[in-house]
Amino acid sequence: MFLLFIFLLGLATGSFLNVVICRLKTKESILFGYSHCTQCKHKLAWYDLIPLVSFVLTRGRCRYCGKKISWQYPTVELATALLFTLVFYKQFNNLGMQQFALLLFYISVLVVIFVYDLKHNIIPDKIVVSGIVVAILGNLVFDLLHNPKSYSIFSGQLSFINYRSISGLIAALAASGFFYLLVVISKGHWMGGGDVKLAFFMGLILGWPNILVGLFGAFISGAIIGLILVGLNKKTMKSQVPFGPFLCASTIVAMLYGSQIINWYLGLVF
């Protein structure tokens, strides 16, 4: 029953994240104002806003103007619900309620950045900066409330830095510094300022050494998808592909499976 509750919470959160993604672009208030069709602007009733269910019942069309509703809405809702459920299944027994809520917040931030960068080829400052502030405070509070010798859930048994705030800061500076160097060398053609900030956020929530899993996974998946798009003639070797989605997806994988991946890799090497 609790798994079902977490899934429904994820659906509701995904619905809200869709509002955030859309209104960041239109500059409408995220917290105030009624929901409306993005095409005919008609005010939506409560039964038009039931996550997933409303989309299915209306067959993916606006009830008022009949135009198609973007698949972004059900996809984000379902993806968020599945991620919330996976986080609960994988990590809840190792976490307190506060840490679990913080982890869900990080997932939400990454989902918004993933979709927004994919759609508009830009990482929203408001979202990533908010994530950075919460991550810094969260790491500090964790160190104040817990035994400093306990290991971070993000770094696992391989962490050699016991303070999450210090581990996260070192990882954040290393990751963002590396990306900033790429921005300077390429004069902004390879990476942008948003990627630097996102890398800093990644370091704060992953810590050391999981930041290596997050970065390595992003570059590998980005290269593979890029080559596939070139092979399908969807892109050329000179085309720009937003890197934020790869960073976000790889961060989530590192959050959930980083320690296992590192242990697997070390087992192969040694």
Q: What confidence tens digit (pLDDT) does each residue in 27-37 have?
A: 887 777 778 77
pLDDT at position 33 is 75
- Is 158 in contact with 211 (CB distance < 8 Å)? no
The type of residue at 207 is G
CA distance linking residue 139 with residue 204, whole number of Å: 8
Q: Confirm whether 215 is domain-assigned.
A: yes
**Which residue in 95, 92, 48 sits closest to 73, CA to CA?**
48
Q: Is the four-CA dihedral 33, 39, 44, 48 of positive or negative sign?
A: negative
Residue 5 belongs to domain spanning: 1-94
CA distance linking residue 134 with residue 200, whole number of Å: 13
Among 57, 78, 94, where does a domain finish?
Answer: 94
CA distance linking residue 263 with residue 254, whole number of Å: 12
258 and 180 in a common domain: yes
pLDDT at position 172 is 95
Number of domains the chain is built from: 2
Q: Confirm whether 104 is domain-assigned.
A: no
CA distance linking residue 217 with residue 250, whole number of Å: 5
The beta strand positions in the chain, using DSSP E, are none
152 and 21 in a common domain: no
pLDDT at position 92 is 65
209 and 130 in a common domain: yes
pLDDT at position 107 is 96
Among 94, 114, 147, where does a domain finish?
Answer: 94
The type of residue at 21 is I
183 and 239 in a common domain: yes
pLDDT at position 162 is 54
126 and 90 in a common domain: no
Residues in the chain with pLDDT < 70?
92-95, 146-162, 237-238
Tokens for 81?
A: 């619900």
189 and 56 in a common domain: no
262 and 182 in a common domain: yes
88 and 30 in a common domain: yes
Q: Confirm whether 106 is domain-assigned.
A: no
